[in-house]
């Protein structure tokens, strides 16, 4: 079981893409794993034959536990798969069963002898057909859940994702013209029926929300936070975005204001590396030489943080394309484990929700996180006159063990310089995508 986030302690096997006896090549997708943050596909680290499945579908296993074995021998007869072993079953919480899990978690039918010596019968054909049909339809877990909530038969949906995979937008498109079943909350479920007339209702947190609760509590309790805010005039940055879209057309279609801010943050971290760091030990601060930005993405049951690698080195338009891939992939739960590891600094943008300014909790063990508010026209003084300008507040939360207020202020000052002179974001080429 791979570790796919700093806070991850266990994972749940949602489905196996290979069966015992199958030949696998290095890089083949073996299974889909549910973590406390996201569902990801894990790949084979070596070639050979899948000789044993240790953790069956629907079971939990701690990080580092063996969930399957691959050997280098030729494929032969398929031994029976073990539905469970070291892993534990997920405890019942009173919440409804997951609708995005595979239709069946039982091992393939076999003819293992019964106690009386006769061969055990195959699974009933109806059960096999029902489970097999559900498993053959390629759909993201989020799409499966949305389809179940809206009463949509996945066989009616044409997938537009990679390889014809059904993703969230396909369900939403069909739902717009189909009657929807009453929506159920995706994040929580009643722990038990509240008595009539009760003044409150207890709800069971999703595994993701439980993980977020643990992570933010630990961060706020163990990392000494302080906060610094600066305002940036965004007039030139907005003009640059318009000019790039006009000049490059479809090549710049993915470019957003957030991409300009992300690029500025990456360059500022390269120039002011104090915040691109972690508190490694009581006498050591580790400064990273590469800038990998964690981008906070809201999903129905919490937050996930895909990682934009080498953000300072990516040309602006290529950065925009990669950021869009990560954000859409995170929302549709189709990213792989490498997309969630190795962030050195994080960015959270609530501007699209009409938030003017806020402070974010550091995503430990990183040393800082940037909180972005909305751009709003405000009166400012320029050359002795009051004029309206598009202004934006940037607030950085910083680990006080790593740097002081001056270091945080220098980082924001560099971001302000870059965004108010946005030609500096282009580097040697504006469209080297």
Mind telling me the catalytic residues? 400
| Integer CA distances (angstroms), 129 to 83, 104, 242, in order | 20, 11, 53
The pair of three-digit structure tokens given for residue 359, joined into one six-digit string: 């402070």
Closest CA to 305 of 351, 250, 370, 221: 370
Cα distance between residue 251 and residue 432, in whole Å: 10
Phi, psi of 270 (to 5 degrees): -70, -40
Angle (deg, nearest 10), helices 405-420 and 235-248? 50
Cα distance between residue 346 and residue 368, in whole Å: 7
Cα distance between residue 285 and residue 101, in whole Å: 42
Q: DSSP states of 118-137 as a string?
A: SBPPPPPHHHHHHHHHHHHS
The pair of three-digit structure tokens given for residue 234, joined into one six-digit string: 């965004």
User: Is 343 in a helix, a strand, or coil?
Assistant: coil
| Integer CA distances (angstroms), 232 to 153, 261, 346, 394, 419, in order | 49, 11, 19, 8, 7
Cα distance between residue 219 and residue 398, in whole Å: 12
97: buried, middle or exposed (CB in 10 Å: 19+, 13-18, 0-12)? exposed
Cα distance between residue 431 and residue 426, in whole Å: 8
Which residues contact residue 375 at a Cβ distance below 8 angstroms, ignoring those fewer than 6 apart? 234, 238, 257, 351, 390, 391, 392
CA 269, 272, 278: angle at the middle one, nearest 5?
A: 70
């Amino acid at each position: 079981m791979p570790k796919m986030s700093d806070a991850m302690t266990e994972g749940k096997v949602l489905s196996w893409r290979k069966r015992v006896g199958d030949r696998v090549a290095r890089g083949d997708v073996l299974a889909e794993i549910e973590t406390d943050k996201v569902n990801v596909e894990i790949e084979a680290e070596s070639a050979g034959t899948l000789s044993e499945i240790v953790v069956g579908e629907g079971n939990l296993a701690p990080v580092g536990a063996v969930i399957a074995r691959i050997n280098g021998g030729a494929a032969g007869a398929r031994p029976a798969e073990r539905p469970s072993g070291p892993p534990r079953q997920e405890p019942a919480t009173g919440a409804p069963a997951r609708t995005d899990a595979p239709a069946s978690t039982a091992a393939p039918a076999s003819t293992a002898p019964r106690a009386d010596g006769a061969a055990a019968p195959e699974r009933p054909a109806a059960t096999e057909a029902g489970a097999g049909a559900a498993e053959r339809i390629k759909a993201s877990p989020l799409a499966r859940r949305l389809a179940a909530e809206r009463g949509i038969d996945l066989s009616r949906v044409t997938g537009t994702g990679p390889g014809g995979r059904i993703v969230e937008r396909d369900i939403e498109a069909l739902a717009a013209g189909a009657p929807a079943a009453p929506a159920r909350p995706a994040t929580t479920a009643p722990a038990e029926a509240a008595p009539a007339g009760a003044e409150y209702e207890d709800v069971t947190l999703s595994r993701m929300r439980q993980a977020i609760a643990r992570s933010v509590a630990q961060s706020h309790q163990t990392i000494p936070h302080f906060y610094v805010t600066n305002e940036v005039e965004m007039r030139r940055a907005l003009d640059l975005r318009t000019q790039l879209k006009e000049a490059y057309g479809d090549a710049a279609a993915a470019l957003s204001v957030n991409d300009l801010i992300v690029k500025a943050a990456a360059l500022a971290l390269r120039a002011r590396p104090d915040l691109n760091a972690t508190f490694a030990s009581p006498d050591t601060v580790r400064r990273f030489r590469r800038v990998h930005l964690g981008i906070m993405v809201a999903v129905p049951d919490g937050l996930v943080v895909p990682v934009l690698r080498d953000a300072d080195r990516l040309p602006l338009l290529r950065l925009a394309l990669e950021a869009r891939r990560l954000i859409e992939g995170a929302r549709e739960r189709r990213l792989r484990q490498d997309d969630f590891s190795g962030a050195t600094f994080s960015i959270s943008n609530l501007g699209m929700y009409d938030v003017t300014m806020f402070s974010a909790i550091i995503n430990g063990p990183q040393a800082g996180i940037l909180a972005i508010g909305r751009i709003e026209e405000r009166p400012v003084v320029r050359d002795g006159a009051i004029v309206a300008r598009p202004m934006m507040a940037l607030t950085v939360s910083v680990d006080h063990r790593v740097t002081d207020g001056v270091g945080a202020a220098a980082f924001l000052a560099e971001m302000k310089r870059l965004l108010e002179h946005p030609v500096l974001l282009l580097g040697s080429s504006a469209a080297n995508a």
